[in-house]
Structure 1
Amino acid sequence: MSTVFRLDASIKPEGSVSRAVSETLENAIVAELGGDVTVTTRSIGLNPLPSDAWATAAFAGYVPAEQRTDEQNAAVALATELADELASADVAIIGAPFYNWGVTQHLKTWFDLVLTDGRFGPGAEQPAGAGKSAFLVIARGGGYGEGTPRFGWDHATAWLKRVLEDVWGYEVTVIEAELTLAETTPAMAELVDLARKNLADAHAAAERHGKAVASKIAA
């Protein structure tokens, strides 16, 4: 039985592009594998993790287990739960919307907590993601490519890839959708057609990569 872990960081109850593209990717994997797959999901944008949990869990690592406070035990247990979800999966899907030019606080808290677990901490001899596939589904409201006014303002994607690839050992594929605010932003009206094509391309990429990784797992 194969396992997929899907993380959604969007704060939008409806209309989330990162969630929609992640769902296309998930559905493609499930369809290709048939019933031989389990999907675990966590929506940290709609159900945020406690903002103080990371600091509590991090400092608990310097305290003998029998001397930890109830708060420290709870934070460590939460970090372990999050790490278990990720470590047990054959494929990870991380939906990462682009907020204020960087990583959303919800996603940063999740990464920080998982990093306190020895299986994913810096310096782990055999990172729990080694050799596995991870998909980073990025959604940006504007355009940040070379030649645009905001080129170089994306302070999220490189950091996310760095942790997933270099610290956790995943083979990372990035699926990107830009100009997602064009439909609702009058100043971006001339970019609507390009935004729609961009979104369609992202869904097509998700479908294609989903089938490919499912075939790899099944082999």
Structure 2
Amino acid sequence: MATLLHIDSSVFPASASASRAVAETFRKAWQEQHPEGTVIYRDLSAHPVPHITAHAHTAGFAAPDAHTPEQAAAFAQRLELIEELERADAVLIGAPMYNYSIPSTLKAWLDNVILHGRTAGENPSANGTPVTVVASRGGSYAPGTPKEGYEYVQNYLTAILADMLALDVDFIVPELTAAPHNPAMAELVPLFETSRERALQDAATKAKTLAERLAA
């Protein structure tokens, strides 16, 4: 049975969140292909994971039998998140752009699952696992746009997910999501609608293709 790890980090509900809506489309298409599969779901906005602490950090570099009680408790929480990643056949991450970067809740999750000598380093334990990131943003940061240099979501997540964790990363990018709500962007609403429709179609197509590939 295939297992999908689905991470959402938008502060808004699906009705008001592009990343949640597109991720939900991906997840539904995935489940149609794997009706008996497992979905591990974490809503980091509703249920944030702990930010990394000194105890959680240092425990990752010490033998379990040498952990203090505080280290053991903190590392147990990290280990749960790490094992979810390792069990997943595919990963889906909703990563809206907030102030040019990812939500702090998603950063906290990443800090917990990055463990040198296990998920990162010479032989990453989730090596090659496909991960689809829904990187929504209010404007456009595509090559050639005025704010291209402020794109710190795809660049950062590529460095972390692909380079550090050795995951197979793919992006879906719904952009201009602020256009319907910002009068100054009114003329961009048609471009937003096109981007949103393309993202929803990409989500359904990519989920089906990935599910079929893993089943082969």
TM-score, normalized by length of structure 2?
0.92
Would the alpha carbon gap of residues 135 and 62 (structure 1) be closer, same or farther in structure 2, given more than 3 Å must change? closer
The answer to whether the 8 Å contact 1:9/1:107 transfers is yes
Q: Aligned residue for 1:103?
A: 102
The answer to whether the 8 Å contact 1:54/1:113 transfers is no
Q: Aligned residue for 1:70?
A: 69
What CA deviation, in whole Å up to 9, does each residue of 1:153-186 have, x standing for no partner?
0112111112211222222111111111111111
What CA deviation, in whole Å up to 9, does each residue of 1:123-150 have, x standing for no partner?
142x222232110110111111233221
Q: Aligned residue for 2:22?
A: 21
Give the whole-Å Cα distance in 2 for the aligned partners of 1:124 and 1:45: 32
Give the whole-Å Cα distance in 1 for the aligned partners of 2:204 and 2:60: 41
Q: Aligned residue for 1:87?
A: 86
Q: What 5-or-longer segments of structure 1 have no aligned partner?
A: none
| Matched ranges for 1:49-64 at <5 A | 49-51=49-51, 53-64=52-63
The alpha carbon displacement at 1:67 in A equals: 4.8
Bigger mean CA offset, 170-179 vs 54-63: 54-63
Q: Aligned residue for 1:36?
A: 36
- Work out which of the residue numbers 191, 194, 197 in structure 2 matches 1:194: 191
The alpha carbon displacement at 1:13 in A equals: 3.1
Would the alpha carbon gap of residues 21 and 124 (structure 1) be closer, same or farther in structure 2, given more than 3 Å must change? same
Q: Aligned residue for 2:139?
A: 142
Q: Could you tell me which amino acid in structure 1 is paired with residue 40 of structure 2?
A: T
The answer to whether the 8 Å contact 2:13/2:20 transfers is no
The alpha carbon displacement at 1:118 in A equals: 4.0
Would the alpha carbon gap of residues 67 and 132 (structure 1) be closer, same or farther in structure 2, given more than 3 Å must change? closer
Give the whole-Å Cα distance in 2 for the aligned partners of 1:129 and 1:110: 15
Q: Aligned residue for 2:153?
A: 156
Would the alpha carbon gap of residues 62 and 4 (structure 1) be closer, same or farther in structure 2, given more than 3 Å must change? closer
Bigger mean CA offset, 134-143 vs 165-174: 165-174
The answer to whether the 8 Å contact 1:79/1:117 transfers is no
The answer to whether the 8 Å contact 1:87/1:128 transfers is yes
Give the whole-Å Cα distance in 2 for the aligned partners of 1:156 and 1:55: 26
Give the whole-Å Cα distance in 2 for the aligned partners of 1:137 and 1:28: 15
Give the paired residue count.
Answer: 215
> What secondary structure does 2:150 align onto?
coil
Q: Could you tell me which amino acid in structure 1 is paired with residue 178 of structure 2?
A: L
Q: Could you tell me which amino acid in structure 2 is paired with residue 46 of structure 1?
A: A
> What secondary structure does 1:99 align onto?
coil
Q: Could you tell me which amino acid in structure 1 is paired with residue 9 of structure 2?
A: A
Q: Could you tell me which amino acid in structure 1 is paired with residue 38 of structure 2?
A: T
The answer to whether the 8 Å contact 1:83/1:117 transfers is no
Q: Could you tell me which amino acid in structure 1 is paired with residue 36 of structure 2?
A: D
The alpha carbon displacement at 1:71 in A equals: 3.0
RMSD of aligned residue pairs (Cα, Å) = 1.7
Q: Aligned residue for 1:178?
A: 175
- Work out which of the residue numbers 202, 206, 209 in structure 1 matches 2:206: 209
The alpha carbon displacement at 1:45 in A equals: 2.0
TM-score, normalized by length of structure 1?
0.91
